[in-house]
């Protein structure tokens, strides 16, 4: 995705906006799904422009990422509905963290597959064990580097990226790899924080929807805001024929 991005981008999806777990570990590259905790490990600028955020100790962060209170503002059912899933689809959840969205999607595609990526090895371990506990044989957790989703060309029908886009450094480069991974008619859904959100990352790291749409258009995706949540916007894109 970008020039040696040290960020653990795919984990912050779940930390952007909630309070951090007790004795949260020191900062280290990471990613995920939720809301940037107001007192979470420090946020740092990246050489590529994204936000550096560290996440380890999956069991502790699961108390934040999978807190039932998150459902009220994250509205996961509405977000999953935006994916317009069919039972046999292959879906990539980028920066899946502890699997907050991945397990929901896995249940919606019983004859398909969910590829849940993250940069933190402990999150991969946690999701793998969670899938086993919950009997989700179609959920596969995959460790990926910060600059590459490592999805095969034309291999997925849907890609979901929640609370992670602002963590990416070279977003255009990363988006090009996502475009390559989409099948014909494939769809990418990005959820991120509004500029005036009550929760989320520091203001300087937030992205206006128009800027995200422009980034996606530059790599051949048609995009628009299709849903607004309390603190977030949802952008749905399609690969151009």
**CA–CA gap between residue 64 and residue 62 (Å, rounded):** 5
CATH number of residue 103's parent domain: 3.40.50.150
Domain count, the chain: 1
Are the C-beta atoms of residues 147 and 46 closer than 8 Å to each other?
no
Q: Output the average pLDDT for the chain.
A: 82
**CA–CA gap between residue 65 and residue 131 (Å, rounded):** 16
Assigned domain for 124 exists: yes
Confidence grade of residue 232 (pLDDT, cut at 50, 70, 90)? very high
Q: What is the pLDDT of residue 16?
A: 52
Find, among 69, 66, 87, 214, the residue nearest to 134 by Cα.
66
CA angle 40, 41, 44 (to 5 degrees): 120
**CA–CA gap between residue 11 and residue 98 (Å, rounded):** 8
Interstrand relation of 156-162 and 90-94 (parallel, antiparallel or unpaired): parallel
Assigned domain for 4 exists: no
Confidence grade of residue 241 (pLDDT, cut at 50, 70, 90)? low
**CA–CA gap between residue 236 and residue 239 (Å, rounded):** 10
- Model pTM? 0.80
Assigned domain for 34 exists: no
Q: What is the pLDDT of residue 54?
A: 56
Assigned domain for 60 exists: no
**What would the pLDDT profile of 8-24 be if each residue is shown by its tens digit?**
333 344 445 554 444 44
Assigned domain for 39 exists: no
Assigned domain for 1 exists: no
Q: What is the pLDDT of residue 169?
A: 87
**CA–CA gap between residue 160 and residue 102 (Å, rounded):** 9
**CA–CA gap between residue 100 and residue 166 (Å, rounded):** 19
Assigned domain for 9 exists: no
Interstrand relation of 156-162 and 182-193 (parallel, antiparallel or unpaired): parallel
Assigned domain for 21 exists: no
Which residue range(s) make up the domain with 213?
A: 70-239
Helix (H) or strand (E) holding 236: strand 232-239
41 DSSP assignment: S
Are the C-beta atoms of residues 39 and 23 closer than 8 Å to each other?
no
Mean pLDDT of 160-183: 95
């Amino acid at each position: 995705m970008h020039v040696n991005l040290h960020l653990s981008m795919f984990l912050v999806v779940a930390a952007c906006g909630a309070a951090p777990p007790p004795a949260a570990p020191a900062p280290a590259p990471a990613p995920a799904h939720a809301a940037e905790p107001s007192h979470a490990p420090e946020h740092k600028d990246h050489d590529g422009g994204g936000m550096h955020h560290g996440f380890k100790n999956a069991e502790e962060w699961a108390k934040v990422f999978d807190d039932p209170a998150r459902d009220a503002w994250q509205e996961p059912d509405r977000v999953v509905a935006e994916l317009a899933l069919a039972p046999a689809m292959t879906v990539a959840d980028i920066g899946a963290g502890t699997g907050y969205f991945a397990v929901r999607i896995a249940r919606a595609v019983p004859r398909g597959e969910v590829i849940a990526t993250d940069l933190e090895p402990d999150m991969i371990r946690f999701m793998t064990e969670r899938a086993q506990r919950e009997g989700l044989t179609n959920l596969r957790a995959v460790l990926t580097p910060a600059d590459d989703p490592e999805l095969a060309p034309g291999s997925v029908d849907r890609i979901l990226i929640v609370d992670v886009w602002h963590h990416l450094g070279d977003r255009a480069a990363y988006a090009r790899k996502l475009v390559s991974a989409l099948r014909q008619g494939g769809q990418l859904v990005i959820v991120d924080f509004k500029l005036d959100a009550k929760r989320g990352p520091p203001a300087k790291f937030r992205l206006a929807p128009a800027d995200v749409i422009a980034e996606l258009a530059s790599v051949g995706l048609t995009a628009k805001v299709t849903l607004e949540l309390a603190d977030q916007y949802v952008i749905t894109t399609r690969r151009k024929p």
